[in-house]
Structures are given as C-alpha cells and as structure tokens.
Amino acid sequence: MNFKVLLAAGALLATQSFAIIGIGAHYAPNFGTSMKGLGTDKVRDRVDVTDAGEVKMWHGGFDEMMQGFGFKVWVDILPIIDIEATFNIQFGSYDATLFIADPKASLAGGELTYQQIDLEVELGGTPFGKANPKFVQMNGDISITYPITFIPIIRPYIGGGLTYYLNTFILNQPFTKKVVGDTYNSMVNEVLSDPLALVSNPNAGADLGNKVSETLVENLQDAALEEGLKQSIGGHILVGLRAKLPIIPIAAYANFKYYFGGDYPEEIDPGHMAAEVGVGFAL
C-alpha cells in the first residue's frame, strides 16, 4: 500500500508542475530613483517663467521608493529557455506651484504681489486622473530566462532582455515657460489699451487677475494632457523564481531586475532597480 502511495506521489511530481503559458499581475516597486527639485522653500526658490518675472513657478522633488504595478505573460514550452513579457508602471509624486503677479499692481506700476496656485494636472498617456504632478515611467520588457535547476514546484531562473521605456515630462521651468509664453502680458496689455475700461469698471483689475490665473492654469493642464511620452530603448538583467503546485492553475512569482539604458528628464536620477512580486493563472 505504501509503495502505491509513493508511486502516485512520484508520478504527480513528475508531471508538468510549470505551465505552458501563464498570465499574472504584480506589485512592482522601483528602488533608488529620485527627482531633484528647485529647493525646499517655494517662495525663496521659485524661478521666473516670464522675462520680467510676472509669472514664476516652483516644483519639488522626491527621493522615496517609487510605487508601481504591472502585468506579465510567460511561456515555458520552449526547450531549455523560457520567455516572458512584462509591462510595468511606476510613479513618484511631487508638488508644483505657479506664482502669478496681481495685474492690478502691474496696471498701477506698483510692486508686484503674487497669487500662489498649487497645480494639479492630468498626464497624457498615463492611467492617472488630475492630481499632484507625477513622474511616471512605464516599461515593456521582453526577457529570455534560463532555469537554474529543474526542481519540481519551484523554478529559479536567471535571464535578461530588451526594455522599451516610456517616461513622462517634468513640470519644470522650460515646460512652463513654453506654455505661458506671452499670455500674461498680452492679457494685461489688452486692458491697458482701453483706459476707459478701467474707468467704467473699478473691478477690472480684480476681474483680470481671476481671468489671467484661470487661463494660465487651464493652458498648463491642457498642455500636460497633450504632452507626449519620451520613448527610448535599453535592457535589463534579472533573477527570479516561479512556484506552482501540480494540477492547480495558480502560480506565484518574484523577480528582481536591474535596468540599463533609457532616456530620462534631467531632474531624474534613475535607480535602475525594480522588483516584481505577483500571482497569476497558469495553464
């Protein structure tokens, strides 16, 4: 009787413990990536967006671990090597503030005072809605892996492959300056060109201030939504393992990846390291 039990257990382990194909979802944090801000004091460290300083801006940075998630498809049917395709989305949040001079002071020729507006934007090409600005990096990996051992149930492996990078822009001084352009001066000069408007409407300055602020913020939000993703090519190496019980169509996996190459904004210092921990269906 014991011999039959051992024979059945051996036959079960001898069957394919690893799927021909699998698909899963995972948690994918990024380690070591940081973003350089303009400083810690918004007022002291703000920079000019217009030549005469009527519009200024400031943005912060981040140095904490970037959060992320992703999806994976893998194929184990090939002899000796396996293939997996991965798509990860990772992100870090930062603050950005626009400072807009009160047009009433500009119209009166007095010292400029500023309205401070904390910006919220929606980034085109990403799955996030309107919120604090984010640096979002997305990458697609095609990996070839080689099993280190052929132990039943647990399959450790090493490998590497190509990476296709997609990165968002940073809401920085050059981008803001490009979007703002001469909008502020044009709107103020339009009122100055009609002195009667100031006489007939004592609230013209205040109304203009609200209109200028709304226009500049709306222009920035529209530009952020329309701005494309920066694309580049690089590669990665990885070490990982998958675990799957026989018959049960569920697998767990964990990878650690080191990336190289890729094109990033100048404010970003990439950490090049990421983990993937997830589960999936395996057939």
Three-class DSSP category at 102: coil
pLDDT in tens, 115-124: 899 999 988 8
Three-class DSSP category at 20: coil
Q: Of 99, 101, 170, 165, which Cα lies nearest the Cα of 132?
A: 170
Is domain 18-282 annotated with CATH 2.40.110.10?
Answer: no
Domain ranges for the chain: 18-282
The answer on pLDDT for 271 being more than 60 is yes
> In sequence order, what are the beta bridge partners of 112?
none
Beta pairing class for 250-261 and 30-31: unpaired
Question: Got the DSSP string for 167-212?
Answer: E-----HHHHHHHHTTHHHHHHHHHHT-HHHHHH-TTHHHHHHHHH
pLDDT in tens, 150-179: 777 888 999 999 999 999 999 999 999 999
d(CA 250, CA 270): 34
pLDDT band per the 50, 70, 90 thresholds, residue 14: very low
d(CA 105, CA 114): 10
pLDDT in tens, 177-220: 999 988 888 887 776 666 666 556 656 556 777 888 899 999 99
